[in-house]
Amino acid sequence: MGSFIIQGSKGLEGIVDIGGSKNAALPIIASTVICPREYILENIPDIEDVKDMFDILHTMGCKIQYEDGVALIDTRDLNTFKVPEKLVRKIRSSIILMGAVLQRTGNVEIAYPGGCEIGLRPIDLHLKGLRKLGVEIVEKNGLLIGTVKEPEGIEISLDYPSVGATENIMLYAVGVPGKTTIYNPAREPEIVDLQNFLNICGYEISGAGTGVITIEGKNIKSTETVEYKIISDRIEAGTYLSAAASMKSKIYIRNIEKSHFKSITSIYEDAGCEIRETKGTIVIKNSGRLNAIEKVTTQPYPGFPTDMQAQFMASMATANGITIIEETVFDSRFKHVPELQKMGANITTIGRVAVVEGVERLTGAEVESKDLRGGAALVIAALGAEGTTKINNIYHINRGYEKFVTKLQNLGVIITEV
Ligand SMILES: CC(=O)N[C@H]1[C@@H](OP(=O)(O)OP(=O)(O)OC[C@H]2O[C@@H](n3ccc(=O)[nH]c3=O)[C@H](O)[C@@H]2O)O[C@H](CO)[C@@H](O)[C@@H]1O
Ligand SMILES: C=C(OP(=O)(O)O)C(=O)O
């Protein structure tokens, strides 16, 4: 599964270029199956999850070429409504194919999805939404079998602003006759990107990023090639920001949309970092030990993202004072805590609350990455630790970070992948 070996250092310096957003690219790639045509997608990150999504589409008959961040996808020869089970179980976004394949073929056969093990992660809201839109769904031998029966636009109110459920409903509803309205949808920038992409394809969606999304069902006949550029990854940007903030550093983070991660930058400013923005670039400077933040609670967008909780915790592990971190989005997202403790962090958890008492410095140790962001948190902890850290099981990290080793090396980090 591979390991990173990281030498603790005194600080980061240099420039890092942020790649395309994992959580925007995956549903957009999935949505190319809805309409049989060719697509040219730019800024697709070179990460394991994207490779798995390509494998799924390829297995279903689509043609894919990928080079230098550009994917050419041809979905005209999709030849099945059965989504390959093994691959579906590897990644989270595979479930979005449920809505997309149903819209294309009227049927779907799909397993429960994989992704980070950070809690229960049910898909009841996805299924409830699709059923309301006229899809019959039964479960057989662990597979979900969906058939379009009476498609009709309707009002759907989500009990929770689930990212995946919002996307799945959008992908199916684009071609459902009539008007579908989603109340309390997820408002993440990745949902706005999905709306923008679908509208360029010719569909009619409005309201993404607000509390109501409206979809006018349309039957697209166009075969014209669609070109689209994916937004940059706010969580990747936030991860480099956390890394720089954890030590005496000055780095330039390029290719970002600052408005997408205000909740992250404002917390690091409160902790004592200097953050400036010029067009598309952030300069972050930290000249001393961070100040602890009294309390941070993860929330759906525009709140502080759960996907930054672990990295933030790693920063606060050496801050001056006590930080309380509450995880409200997922029920089991503290698997990095015992690993940080092995490095000398003083963290206590009570249910979904972690109390982090900053220590002067962490020490290198052999630790294990249990999930994507927890793994990134261990890298951040290792950067400022005394001595060498070995992080095992880095598969999880490579699922979501493009050229992680090279980008860190460019910032002066001594890191090798073995
Ligand atoms: C590939 C992708 O885009 N992944 C992101 C997506 O995951 P994902 O789409 O899985 O996250 P959701 O927003 O759906 O989940 C948020 C919460 O809602 C619950 N829930 C969700 C659906 C459902 O049917 N029933 C239910 O109870 C989940 O268990 C969880 O507690 O959004 C999360 C929240 O921002 C991010 O951490 C993930 O990085
Ligand atoms: C939880 C994450 O990913 P996924 O939903 O793909 O497991 C993440 O990106 O932090």
What are the tens digits of pLDDT across the range 35-89? 999 999 999 999 999 999 999 999 999 999 999 999 999 999 999 999 999 999 9
User: In this predicted structure, what is the pLDDT of residue 279?
Assistant: 86
- Assess whether the previous peptide bond of 113 is cis (omega < 30° from 0): no
- Give, for 78, the enclosing helix (H) or strand (E): none
Q: What is the pLDDT of residue 278?
A: 87
CA of 20 relative to ligand 1 center, distance in Å = 20
Task: Please report the beta strands in 327-418, taking only residues with DSSP state E, as ranges in sequence order.
Answer: 346-350, 353-357, 366-368, 388-392, 414-417
201 among known catalytic residues: no
Predicted local confidence at residue 161, as pLDDT? 98
Annotated binding site: 22-23, 92, 121-125, 307, 329
Q: Report whether 5 contacts 396 (CB < 8 A).
A: no
CA gap 67, 48 in Å, rounded: 14
Spatial separation of the C-alpha atoms in residues 13 and 172, rounded to whole Å:
46
- C-alpha 60/C-alpha 316 separation (Å) is 45
Ligand 2 site, residue 367, Cβ cutoff 6 A = no
Tell me the C-alpha to C-alpha distance, in Å, between residue 417 and each of 3, 108, 109, 397: 6, 40, 38, 12
Q: What pLDDT, on a 0 to 100 scale, did the predictor assign at position 9?
A: 85
Pocket test for ligand 1, best of 22, 49, 90, 121 (most atoms within 8 A of CB): 121
Separation CA 310–CA 329 (nearest Å): 13
- C-alpha–C-alpha distance, residues 301 and 272, integer Å: 24
**Residue 373 beta carbon below 6 angstroms from any ligand 2 atom:** yes
Task: Please tell me the distance between residue 121's alpha carbon and the centre of ligand 1 in angstroms.
Answer: 7
Tell me how far the alpha carbon of residue 8 is from its chain's centroid. Answer: 27
Q: Is 92 touching ligand 2 by the criterion CB < 6 Å? A: yes
Binding-site residue ranges for UDP-N-acetyl-alpha-D-glucosamine: 92, 121-125, 307, 329
Alpha helix ranges (H) inside 222-336? 234-245, 262-270, 309-316
Could you say which DSSP state residue 233 is in? Answer: -
Rounded to the nearest angstrom, the distance between the alpha carbon of 187 and the centre of ligand 1 is: 12
Q: In angstroms, what is the span from residue 287 Cα to ligand 1's centroid?
A: 36
Rounded to 5°, angle at Cα 102 from 100 and 105:
105
For the Cβ of 116 lying below 6 angstroms from any atom of ligand 2, the answer is yes
Residues touching ligand 1 (Cβ under 6 Å) are 23, 26, 92-93, 119-126, 160, 162-165, 186, 306-307, 329-330
State how far the Cα of 257 lies from the Cα of 253, in Å rounded to an integer: 11
CA dist 242 to 367, 377, 414, Å?
Answer: 19, 9, 18
Question: Is the CB–ligand 2 distance for residue 400 below 6 Å?
Answer: yes
The number of the ligand 2 atom at minimal distance from the alpha carbon of 92 is 6
User: With a cut of 50, which residues of the chain have pLDDT below it?
Assistant: none
C-alpha 402/C-alpha 359 separation (Å) is 31
User: What is the atom index within ligand 2 of the atom nearest the CA of 26?
Assistant: 6
Average pLDDT, the chain: 96
pLDDT (tens digit per residue) in 380-408: 999 999 999 999 999 999 999 999 999 99
Q: Which residues pair with 179 in a beta bridge?
A: 216
H/E element, 33: none
Q: Annotated binding residues for phosphoenolpyruvate, as ranges?
A: 22-23
Residue closest by Cα to atom 1 of ligand 2: 116
In whole angstroms, give the CA distance from residue 242 to residue 286.
11
Please state, in angstroms and rounded to a whole number, the distance separating the CA atoms of residues 331 and 128: 21
Please pick, among 35, 116, 201, 273, the residue that the annotation labels catalytic.
116
Count of Cβ atoms closer than 10 Å to residue 183 Cβ: 12
pTM: 0.98
Can you give the pLDDT at residue 360? 96
Probe ligand 1: pick from 112, 163, 352, 401, max atoms within 8 Å of CB?
A: 163
Point out the ligand nearest to the CA of residue 372.
Answer: 2
